[in-house]
Amino acid sequence: MALIRHPKDFWAGVFFIAVGTAAIVIALDYAMGTAGRMGPGYFPRWLGGIMVGIGALLVLRSFRLQADKIQFPTFRPLLIVLGSVFLFAVTVNWAGLVLSTILLVLASSVASHEYRWKESIVAAIALAVFVVLAFRWGLQLQLPTWPPALVG
Amino acid sequence: MDVFANLGLGLSVALTFQNVLYCFFGVLLGTLIGVLPGIGPVPTIAMLLPITYALPPVSALIMLAGIYYGAQYGGSTTAILVNLPGESSAVVTCIDGYQMARRGRAGKALAVAALGSFIAGTFATFVVAGFAPPLAEVALKFGPAEYFSLMILGLISAVVLASGSLLKAVGMIVLGLLLGIIGTDVNSGLQRYTFGVPELSDGIGFVVIAMGLFAFAEIIINLEHRGHREVFTDKVSGLLLTWKEFKEALPAILRGTGIGSVLGILPGGGALLSAFAAYTIEKKIAKDPSTFGKGNIRGVAAPESANNSGSQASFIPLLTLGIPPNAVMALMVGAMTIHSIQPGPQVMTSNPQLFWGLIASMWIGNVMLVVLNLPMIGIWVKLLQVPYRLLYPAILVFCCIGTYSLNNNVWDVLMTVVFGVIGWIFVKLECEPAPLLLGFILGPLMEENLRRALLLSRGDPTVFVTRPISATLLALALILLIIVALPMIRKKRQEAFQEEAA
């Protein structure tokens, strides 16, 4: 019988305590002021304190209540989905809207258990066309359509 | 009757060709994103904000408002046919709506959802028209202490009526308040929690947080579950309700409408909260509660009416107090400030055309929505047949480009990745992200009003209980907290925990 009987509450509590403590520690550099003349550190320090308190209650409660373990069936979708968004962000300025959109669609599609590569190529090209029509021309988005280095 | 004269003025504005067109575009887009799971009104409105520069302010607001309440209609379609909330406020509709569909009554469920939404939308239009002016009068008397107490009430009501653990919900609100502090302090000019990153000196955009916590996290979780969706698309027929069904649903529609109108006004309220409350109450007062969850028509009628009237009523605090009660309304603040309109009690007198035009457009939009959602239901059903494996990459593309277009900056897109991870962790820890967003929106306003209230009272905290309006608001908040702490309701919560453990 583990001590931590409600892991979700426990880790949520730990998370709140960590964030609250960090908030207070950083806010120590900001002037506290008084209630009548609040400095920039007043509100954050209070919030940090409340946050630590809530976190502590959650941790205490996790020893008493009972619940399931946290389920991590697979990390693939997390890594692939956010990884492809990251790819889009780092490439779009020099690769342009078309290539980055295609890259984003192709990369993120892999995360589905029903992945079909031919289908996702078609989807990527269709979306890239739509995006250029709607965002680049329709909404005048400030992004290069093609790699600026190639088009000049 | 003042209300009717004013609505007449509003109709004359809303019925111009251009505004009808923008209203139609708004509700059409709203229905579309409502039907599509994984993209809601927040990212959509955020994406469209930049182009509203070019529009006249009334048209811009009419269109954006249409997206919000239009999404409430569309969301129910997905909830009923696929058992997925197309829009978060349709979560409750899934319960009985999907069961109705499984029992071959999909058409009836769709009909009652649209009918309920229409009745609620019509009623809520009058509620906004009737309540906004007197409330704006009251709001003119509001000082910083009242604003602060009002926000406390809003945050507490959001916590109390949210699903899941109270303690975690409070924690999420405080976390949101802290995130809202990031950036340059308006009073001292000090950079708080920016870690020397210049992009953080303006704070984090809430669109960035919303995209990460809601859109991305939801996609990831959907993909983890590898679920197969059973879509009842062939069985949509019999859209007409019988007289008996209508009589059964009508009281629930009216109750839902009322609940939505009241809860929508509260800061922290809006569509989702109203739908939850309406469903709970409907189940409580039912003669046979066990029929709920098994396709009870009232289980669809009440929350669908409530989310629609709630979404419209949530314009009241925005238009009268200048407080955005939820994320969508915060974006509306953005839309108003683009056109240099300061939201607050003075909008009604300084911009009556805009104010009443927007309200009248809501009713026109509701008429359009009934047409869009009943006779044209087939189109939306087709849309639902697009498999998720094709849908989510498209949502990702729109989210990425939408986020980029906020400031024409990849920094914001990178931040959505960070919030995507955080959102995923929150799902794993069963921390509801909606209160966080509310805290984030209200954070800067709360700090500023707390500072001013205490400055005026020379640091005396009793100012919040000695001023009558402020005291009343705080008393209401306290009553809410006590109600939740009552042993009976506490026990209910614990039962839920045990079910979870089983």
Asked if A105 and A132 sit in the same domain, the reply is yes
| Beta carbons of A131 and B414 less than 8 Å apart | no
Q: Calculate the CA dihedral of residues B251, B28, B41, B318 and round it to 10 degrees.
A: -70
Which distant-in-sequence residues (6+ apart) come within 8 Å of B230 by Cβ?
B82, B83
CB-CB under 8 Å, A65 with B192: no
Asked if residues B257 and B120 have their Cβ atoms less than 8 Å apart, the reply is yes
Gap between the Cα atoms of A114 and A125, Å rounded: 19
Residue A21 belongs to some domain of the structure: yes
Residue of B nearest to A18 (CA): B175
Residue A91 inside a domain? The answer is: yes
Is the per-residue pLDDT at B402 higher than 70? yes
A46 in contact with B at a CB cutoff of 8 Å?
A: no
A30 & A84 share domain: no
- What pLDDT shows up at residue A12? 92
Q: Where are the domains of chain B?
A: 2-230+238-501
Instruction: Let me know whether A89 and A115 are in one domain.
Output: yes
Higher pLDDT, B468 or B327: B468
Question: Across the interface, do A139 and B393 touch by the CB < 8 Å criterion?
Answer: no
Q: What are the start-end ranges of the E strands in B34-85?
A: none
A42 found inside a domain: yes
pLDDT at B227: 62
Whether residue A67 lies inside any domain: the answer is no
Provide the 10 A C-beta neighbour count for residue B346.
15
Q: On the CB side of B205, how many CA atoms lie within 13 Å of its CA?
A: 26
Residues of chain B in contact with residue A60, where contact means CB-CB under 8 angstroms, are none
Backbone angles phi, psi at A5, to 5 degrees: -100, -15
Mean pLDDT score, A96-102? 90
Instruction: Report CB contact under 8 Å: B220, A78.
Output: yes
From residue B84, give the alpha-carbon distance in Å to each of B29, B88, B133, B256. Answer: 19, 9, 38, 21
Q: In whole angstroms, how far apart are CA A20 and each of B134, B196, B294?
A: 41, 20, 44
What six digits make up the tokens of A127?
Answer: 């979306």
B24-35 exposure pattern, b = at least 16 Cβ within 10 A, e = fewer:
bbbbbbbbbbbb
Please tell me which residue, B198 or B85, carries the higher pLDDT value.
B198
CA distances to A134, B212, B219, B427 from A71, in Å: 40, 21, 17, 10
- Whether residue A70 lies inside any domain: the answer is no
Residue A82 and residue A143 in one domain: yes
Are A54 and A11 part of one and the same domain? yes
Task: State the average pLDDT over residues B56-63.
Answer: 90
For residues B399 and B211, the answer to whether their CB atoms sit within 8 Å is yes
- What DSSP string runs through B330-372? HHHHHHHHHTT---STTHHHH-HHHHHHHHHHHHHHHHHHHHH
Chain A residues close to B394, C-beta within 8 Å: 105, 123, 127
pLDDT digits (tens, 9 = 90+) for B176-218: 999 999 988 888 888 898 888 888 888 888 778 888 887 888 8
Please check whether residues A110 and A132 belong to one and the same domain: yes
Give A 76-105 residues with CB within 8 A of chain B. Answer: 76-78, 81-82, 84-86, 88-90, 92-93, 97, 101, 104-105
CA angle B27, B80, B127 (to 5 degrees): 45
Sequence-ordered strand ranges (E) for A19-66: none
Asked if residue B323 has pLDDT above 60, the reply is yes
CA nearest to A11 within chain B:
B429
Cross-chain Cβ contact A54/B187 below 8 Å? no
Residue A68: inside a domain = no
Element (H, E) at A114: none
Q: Is the pLDDT of residue A54 over 90?
A: yes
**In a shared domain, residues A85 and A36:** no
pLDDT confidence bin for B92, thresholds 50/70/90: confident
* Phi, psi of A36, deg, nearest 5: -75, -30
CB contact under 8 A, B181 and A48: no
Predicted local distance difference test score (pLDDT) of residue B498: 42
| CB–CB contact A47 B178 (8 Å) | yes
- DSSP letter string, B435-481: HHHHHHHHHHHHHHHHHHHHHHTTT-TTHHHHSHHHHHHHHHHHHHH
Residue type, B171: G
How confident is the model at residue B501, as a pLDDT? 38
What's the CA gap between B418 and B428, in Å, rounded? 16
A44 and chain B in contact, CB less than 8 A = yes
Residue percentage of chain B with pLDDT more than 90: 14
Chain B residue with minimal CA distance to A101?
B397
Contact (CB, 8 A) for B27 and B368: yes
pLDDT at B341: 84
Query: How close B502 gets to chain A, by Cα (Å)?
Result: 8
A116 part of a folded domain: yes
pTM of the complete model: 0.82
pLDDT above 90 (res B76)? no
Structure tokens belonging to residue B264 = 């929508």
Among residues B376, B78, B438, the alpha carbon closest in space to that of B233 is found at B78
User: What pLDDT does residue B44 have?
Assistant: 80
**Are residue A83 and residue A108 in the same domain, yes or no?**
yes
What amino acid occupies position A147? P
Residue B496 pLDDT > 50, yes or no?
no
Q: Give the pLDDT score at B502.
A: 33
Partners of A97 on chain B (C-beta within 8 Å) are 401
Give the range among A33-47, B149-163, B478-492 with minimum mean pLDDT: B478-492
Please give the Cα distance from B449 to B152 (Å, whole number).
Answer: 11
Q: What is the mean pLDDT of chain B?
A: 83
- The number of domains in chain A is 2
Asked if residue A38 belongs to a domain, the reply is yes
Which among B187, B396, B408 has CB closest to A40? B187
Averaged confidence pLDDT in chain A: 87
Domain span at A39: 7-62
**How much is the pLDDT for B316?**
86
Phi-psi group of B322: left, alpha or beta (phi > 0 → left; psi -120 to 50 → alpha; rest → beta) = left
Q: Which phi and psi angles does A64 have, rounded to 5°?
A: -105, -50
Q: What would the mean pLDDT of A112-141 be, rounded to a whole number?
A: 85
From the CB of residue B476, how many other CB atoms can be counted at a distance below 10 Å?
17
Task: Please report the pLDDT score of residue B361 as a whole number.
Answer: 92
User: How buried is A151 (Cβ within 10 angstroms: 0-12 exposed, 13-18 middle, 19+ buried)?
Assistant: exposed
- pLDDT tens sequence across A57-83: 999 988 888 777 888 888 888 999 999
- Region B385-396: mean pLDDT is 84
Mean pLDDT over B367-392 rounds to 84
Scanning every residue of chain B, which has its alpha carbon at the shortest distance from the alpha carbon of A121?
B390
| pLDDT at B492 > cutoff 60 | no
pLDDT band, residue B229 (cuts 50/70/90): low
Interface predicted TM-score of the whole assembly (ipTM), two decimals? 0.91
Q: Which residues contact B465 (CB under 8 A, 6 or more apart)?
A: B471, B474
